[in-house]
Amino acid sequence: MTKLPKISAVALLAMVLMILGAGVANAQEAGCPKFLDPANEGECLTQYSLFYEFYKQDNYADAMKHWRYVYANAPGLRKTTYTAGEKMFTKFRKEAEDPAVKEAYLDSILQIYDARAKCYPKDEGMLKGKTARQLYLHRKDDNIARIYELTEESMAIRGNETEYYLLVPYYLMNIEKYNAKEIDEKGLIEIYDKIKTIVDWNLENNEKKKQKYQDAIDSITPTHEGVVDQSIKNEIQDCPSAKSYYEPKFRETPDDISLLKKIYGTFIKMDCTDDPLFLEVAERYNTLEPSVKKCRYLAGAYYKQGNEAKAFELFNSGLNQATDPEDKADIYWSMAKIERYDKKDFGTARKYAKLAAENRPGWGKPYMFIGEMYAASGARCKASNEFLGWAVSWVAVDMFAKAKKIDPSVTDKANKMIGKYAAYFPEREVLFQRDMAEGSSYTVGCWIGATTTVRAKK
């Protein structure tokens, strides 16, 4: 451990301020030359050499007396004077036990930043950030306005190269402003987007520190989303208020993916998919980030509006994109229900139901669906052939039996349906009259066209 000079806190503070303050003032008056007195160049170079040699050996106590001479007499000699001074005083401060001594060392660090900025103006933005950080960590309560000002000044100068350690404090200070109603939700979102832009740039261009930037945004995002989500919840109670809240934002930034995602999810959650704004948002979102699920939701929304052609165009677009059989099963299932319930086209509904079942093995629901359509066809089929009124019950029961065989979850419902429609099997006398033997094959006509087994009512 480096030995610290034994000196009282008051004496130390006076000495630091005298040495640093004098050096800075002289540097200002002379425009920060290498040597305040050119005749003193040799001694300054000797003192620098001695300071730097001790510094490299981590012997800060012995380095310090030579460093003070260089700092006071050769402000523009080397930037190392400032970087090393910061490092040494930071270590002294960390190891000091007396609070007054700690404060004196912090004053030294802050004055070093100021002196360095005067000698090396290109470092000003970074040094403002360092000052803001030190004050935030150690003197926050009395300096919050100054910290905020320094942070914004640093960010304005540094832009995308703003240091990662400023991002979380900057956001938290703006959360305090938001809570105090000094900025509104829009202002807070702008702050977050500003930070996100800096992070994204560094993730792309700053390999050495990219994880630091990732950690910063990961720390900020949950808080941000919680605040914004709560604000949104307070304003959105139903579909009209959702539309009123989101439509101006959408018109302003129609290509903002995060906004599109939020509107899309909100409208689905609140069952506002009949609103024309949902279609517009979903179309834009699907254009920028195509997905199978968005095609499916869009198709359903268009179908509700009576645009069948557009709906099935989107269903087919989803099928063309789908690589997961589960996604295909969902789309075919949606198409099957439209064909059955809305269009009353049982044949096409059956086709889609079978495709849904093929893409999700072990799923009994499509076969229950087909069985129900068979059972519901008794009157229709009986009109062309009286016996078909009984025969449809055979194929219906076949489907219910198949459903429970492959999918135990539908067993109870399937058994109820089997019991119900087995009661519609023809009497043995009817079979005898038609010269039909139990156990023989029979092809049910009508739209069904399925082969089944002849059975009598028990």
What are 100-131's pLDDT values in tens digits?
999 999 999 999 999 999 999 999 999 999 99
Q: What's the confidence (pLDDT) of residue 227?
A: 84
Q: What's the confidence (pLDDT) of residue 18?
A: 41
For residue 452, give the H/E element and its range.
strand 450-453
Q: What's the confidence (pLDDT) of residue 7?
A: 41
Query: How many residues does this entry show for the chain?
Result: 458
Q: What's the confidence (pLDDT) of residue 236?
A: 81
Q: What's the confidence (pLDDT) of residue 301?
A: 85
Q: What's the confidence (pLDDT) of residue 1?
A: 40
Q: In this structure, which amino acid lies at residue 309?
A: A
Counting runs of H as helices and runs of E as strands, what totals does the chain give? Answer: 22, 2
Q: Which segments in the chain show pLDDT lower than 50?
A: 1-30
Q: What's the confidence (pLDDT) of residue 31?
A: 65
pTM higher than 0.85: no
360: tokens are: 């999700």
